Amino acid sequence: MESALDYWSAKALLEWQVELGATEALCEAPVNRYELPAPASKGAQKPGQGSGSQPGQQPGMPTPVAPKPKPVDPVAEARKAAAAAAELPSLRAAMAAYRHCDLKMGARNLVFCDGQAGARVMVIGEAPGREEDQQGKPFVGAAGQLLDRMLDAIDLGRDKNVYITNVLPWRPQQNRDPSAEEIDMMLPFLERHVELAQPEVLVLMGNISCQAVLGKRGITRLRGTWAEAWGKPVLPMFHPAYLLRQPEQKRAAWADLLELKARLGSAN
Ligand code: URA
Q: For 105, how many CA atoms within 13 A lie in the half-sphere containing its CB? A: 4
CA separation for the pair 202, 166 (Å, rounded): 12
Better-predicted residue by pLDDT, 208 or 64: 208
Taking 70 as the threshold, does the pLDDT of residue 33 lie above it?
no
Taking 80 as the threshold, does the pLDDT of residue 267 lie above it?
no
Q: Give mean pLDDT, residues 106-129.
A: 97
**If you average pLDDT over every residue of the chain, what do you get?**
89
What pLDDT is recorded for position 210? Answer: 98
Count the neighbouring beta carbons within 10 Å of the beta carbon of residue 120.
19
Q: Which atom of ligand 1 is nearest to the CA of 125?
A: 3
CA separation for the pair 220, 156 (Å, rounded): 24
In angstroms, what is the span from residue 144 Cα to ligand 1's centroid? 7
Residue nearest to atom 7 of ligand 1 (CA): 139
Choose which residue among 126, 168, 190, 219 to substitute to test ligand 1 binding: the one with the highest number of ligand atoms within 8 A of its C-beta: 126
What pLDDT is recorded for position 56? Answer: 61
Better-predicted residue by pLDDT, 24 or 90: 90
In angstroms, what is the span from residue 175 Cα to ligand 1's centroid? 10
pLDDT tens, residue by residue, 54-86: 566 677 777 888 888 888 999 999 999 999 999
What pLDDT is recorded for position 61? Answer: 78
List the 201-205 sheet strands across, edge first: 114-115, 162-166, 121-125, 201-205, 232-237, 227-229
Q: How far is CA 42 from the centre of its chain?
A: 33
In angstroms, what is the span from residue 191 Cα to ligand 1's centroid? 18
Cβ(125)–Cβ(162) below 8 Å: no
Confidence of residue 27 (pLDDT cuts 50, 70, 90): low
Cβ(97)–Cβ(81) below 8 Å: yes
- In the chain, the domains with their CATH numbers are 74-266 (3.40.470.10)
Taking 80 as the threshold, does the pLDDT of residue 24 lie above it?
no
Cβ of 143 less than 6 Å from ligand 1: yes
What pLDDT is recorded for position 47? Answer: 44
